[in-house]
Amino acid sequence: MSFRKHGVMALAMGFCTATSALAPQAKACGGEWYPEAMVDPRIQGVAQAEKALSSGKHLAAAASVIRMMPHIKTLKSKPGTLVARAERVLAVALSRAHGALPVAREVPRDVLGAWQGSRDGEATANVAWSVDVLRRQASGKTEDVALKTDLAEALARVPEHRSEARSLLEDLAKRDLIASPEGYAALAMLRSQSGDADGQKLALKRCEAMAKSQDACLIRS
């Protein structure tokens, strides 16, 4: 193909791109044509997912993120961006669901992927993804104790990471900085596994005082 043909092709593609970007819905039938501004619904959507997660509705939060960004695992996020916030919601929800999100009713089948964690190894892989995401985000925000709490909670789901989780949570608990009831539930579980019954009771008590629903404080290793 000659250079000229390349140029024509590029121009044509540029025109198509510009047209489609400016006119998501062209009103050409009987009325005047005008470009219509579109608002990215994910801005509100991610904020609502964060709110849902914070109020204990982790499945609803996760389903919402998967619907909005079904290809989230392939996205590269930068700290503080919408994708990073969505990633965090999904990672925390996944760890709270032990890697298996029963969201088949809320998420179209074609984007459900392995999120349900129903096949061998999927749940484990999901929790591992959750740990990876939270660890990456926490490494860029060393002072964010809420993120540290979320990371420790996810680490507590993985047997080989439990001592790291315990160390993180004990340090935060000592300073009254565990930022979520689920963080205290994870600490209770870790203390229980190490035979610290009194410590477990204390952590559970804090979880129960903070949580909206006592379900958040159920210990499940």
Partner 1 sequence: MPHPQLIAIAASVGLLLGFGCKSPAPDQARPERPALSSRALAAASARVEPGPASLAFEPGDAARGKALVAEYECNRCHQGTGHGTPKLDQDCVGCHEQIATGKFGANRAKLPEWQAHVAPYRDVPSLTALGARVRPAWIRDYLLHPHDLRPNLLQTMPRLKLTPDQARDIATFLSLPLEAPAGSPLPTPVLAVSADPAHVARGKQLMTERGCIGCHHMTGAGFSPPVRSEPAPRSLGLAPDLRFARERAEPATLVNWLLDPTRLKHDAAMPNLGLPAEDARDLAAFLSFGALEPPAAPKAPSRLPLLARPVRFAEVNAKVFAVTCRHCHTNPDLAGGDGGPGNTGGFGFEPRKIDFSSYQGIQSGGVDAQGQRVSLFEKTSEGLPRLVAALVQRAREEGGGASEDLRGMPLGLPALSPEDIQLVESWVDQGRPL
178 binds partner 1 (CB under 8 A): yes
175 binds partner 1 (CB under 8 A): yes
206 binds partner 1 (CB under 8 A): yes
| CA 150 and chain centroid, separation | 10
**Which 52-71 residues touch partner 1, going by CB under 8 A?**
54-56
Closest separation between CB of residue 115 and partner 1, Å? 24
Q: Which residue, among 51, 71, 75, 72, has the nearest Cα to 61 in the 3D structure?
A: 51
Distance CA 52, CA 128 (A): 23
209 binds partner 1 (CB under 8 A): yes
Closest separation between CB of residue 166 and partner 1, Å? 19
Closest separation between CB of residue 105 and partner 1, Å? 26
- Kindly write out the interface string for residues 111-150 of this chain, putting x where it contacts partner 1 by CB under 8 A and - elsewhere: --------------------------------xxxx--x-
Stretch that binds partner 1, among 29-37, 105-113, 156-164, 178-186 (CB under 8 A): 178-186
Closest separation between CB of residue 210 and partner 1, Å? 6
User: Which ranges in 69-121 belong to alpha helices (H)?
Assistant: 82-96
Q: What Cα–Cα distance (Å) separates residue 83 from each residue in 17, 21, 65?
A: 24, 21, 10
211 binds partner 1 (CB under 8 A): yes
User: Which ranges in the chain belong to alpha helices (H)?
Assistant: 3-22, 41-54, 58-68, 82-96, 122-139, 145-155, 162-174, 181-193, 197-210
Distance CA 192, CA 158 (A): 15
167 binds partner 1 (CB under 8 A): no
* Cβ distance to partner 1 smaller for residue 107 or 185: 185
Token pair in block for residue 171: 């340090």
Stretch that binds partner 1, among 99-107, 123-131, 162-170, 176-184 (CB under 8 A): 176-184
* Cβ distance to partner 1 smaller for residue 85 or 191: 85
* Cβ distance to partner 1 smaller for residue 112 or 211: 211
Q: What Cα–Cα distance (Å) separates residue 33 from each residue in 15, 16, 39, 40?
A: 17, 16, 19, 22
Q: What Cα–Cα distance (Å) separates residue 78 from each residue in 21, 40, 139, 145?
A: 24, 18, 12, 19
Binding site for partner 1 (CB under 8 A): 50, 54-56, 79-80, 85, 143-146, 149, 175-181, 206, 209-212
